[in-house]
Amino acid sequence: MASSSKNPLLLLSYASIVALWVGSQTVDINYVANIMILVTSILYAACHLSLTLREEQALARGEVPPKEDGDDDGGDDDDEEEEEERPQYDTLRAVDAMQFPLLGSASLFGLYLAFKYFDKDTVNLIISVYFCLVGLAALTSTFGPVLECLDFKFLRVEYTRSVSVRHPLPKFIGGESPWVWKLNCIVADILAFIGSSFFVCRYFITRHWTMNNVMGICFCLQGIERFSLGTYRIAAILLVGLFFYDIFWVFGTDVMVTVAKSLDGPIKILFPRSLVEDPVSGRLDMSLLGLGDIVLPGFFLALLLRFDAHVAKLPVFPTNIHASFPKPYFHSGLLGYVIGLSTTLYVMIVFEAAQPALLYLVPACLGSSLLCAFVRGELKELFDYSEEEEEVNEEKEEEEVEENEMKKTK
C-alpha cells in the first residue's frame, strides 16, 4: 500500500546533496566518500522523481485521471491547459539504443578535433554559452518544485500574461492572425528563475567548481526524471553498447581523457581532494566523474524503480514520489551501481590511471537486476515490461479496431 507520509530516504538524499555541496567548500571531505554519497543521493532522488513518468504513460494508454470535486466546471479548457503545462518526456527506441554509441563516438571525436585544431578558449566559450542556456532551464525546473514545497502561500500566487505580436508576413502567406505568447507561472517559478540566473551567470564569469557542480547535479536530476529507456531489452542494448564505447575510448585512445581535461563545462562533477591550493598552479587538486557515468546508469535504475511500482500495482493517479512500496529491483540495481563505482575508484587509485567507469558499472547493474529477477522468478515479467510510446499507441489502435469490428458484427 502507498503511504501518504514522506519517504525519509528521499528527504535524506536531498539533504545529503545540499550538505555535501556546502560542506565540500569549507571542510576537507574524503573525495572517495564524497563521490559515493553524492552520486548515490543523486540517483536515489532522480529515480524517484521519474515515477511521474507513469502518469504520462497512463495518459498515452488513454487512461483518464479521476476528477476531484469541483473539477467539472473547467471543462475542456482546463484539460488543454493541464496538457500544455505537463512536462514532456522522451522514450528511447531500440534503433536509437544501437545508434547511441556511434553518435556518441562521433560527437566525442568531433570535440577532440575541435580542441586539437582550433583555439581552446574559443571552443570552450561556445560550449559554455550553450550549457549556460540549457543550465538555466535545468536549474529553474529543479528549484521551482523545491520552492513550492515551502509552506508559503505567496509562492503559489499565479501570474498570467499574454503578449500578441502582429505577423510580419503578408496576409496571403499566412499573416492574418497575430502571434500570441502566453506566460502562465507562479511566484515560485519566477524566484527559481532569478536564483538560477545568479548561479548560471556566476558560473559563466568565474568557472568555479561549485557552480559547475550545481549545474551538473541539476542536469542529472532533470535528465533521469524526464527520460525513459522503454524496455529492459532496450536498456540492455544501450548499456552493452556503451560498455564497449567506454572501453575503446579510454583504453584504446587518449580521446576521452583529453576531451574531459580540455572541456571546461558542466559535463562532469568535480570533487576536491584537498582544499589547499597547489603552490605552483594555484589550483585545487580535483577528481572528476563524468555525468554520463551517473545519468546513463540512472536511466536504467529509474526503469527498474518504475517496474517495481508496476509489480506493486502502485496507483498511477496521483503519482506520489514518496509512496512506500517494495523496491527489490531498484535496490538491487542501486547496490550493483555502488559496487561497480567502488570498484572503479579502487582500480583508479591502485593503478593511478583513468578508468572507464561503465566497464564496471554495466555488468554490476545488469547482473544485479537479472539475479534479482531470477531469484524472484520474474525474468519473463521483467523482459515483457514496456514503456514504449509506439507500443502503447499500437495496442490502443488494435483495441479500437476490435471494438469497431464487434459493433459491425452486432
Q: Catalytic: 384?
A: no
Cell numbers representing residue 21 in the block: 555541496
- What whole-number distance in Å separates Cα of residue 281 and Cα of residue 56? 50
Work out the end-to-end distance of the chain between its first and last CA atoms, rounded to an integer number of angstroms: 42
Cell numbers representing residue 234 in the block: 532496450
Positive or negative: CA dihedral 221, 223, 226, 227: negative
Q: Which of 278, 293, 308, 384 is catalytic?
A: 293
- What whole-number distance in Å separates Cα of residue 368 and Cα of residue 390? 29
Q: Catalytic: 285?
A: no
CA separation (Å) from 370 to 87, 304, 328, 332, 333? 31, 11, 11, 9, 9
- What whole-number distance in Å separates Cα of residue 361 and Cα of residue 340? 5
- What whole-number distance in Å separates Cα of residue 156 and Cα of residue 143? 14
Q: Which of 78, 121, 151, 246 is catalytic?
A: 246
Positive or negative: CA dihedral 26, 32, 37, 39: positive
| Contact between residue 329 and residue 254 where contact means Cβ atoms under 8 Å apart | no
**Rounded (5°) CA angle 241-301-380:** 80
- What whole-number distance in Å separates Cα of residue 14 and Cα of residue 10? 7
Catalytic residues: 246, 293
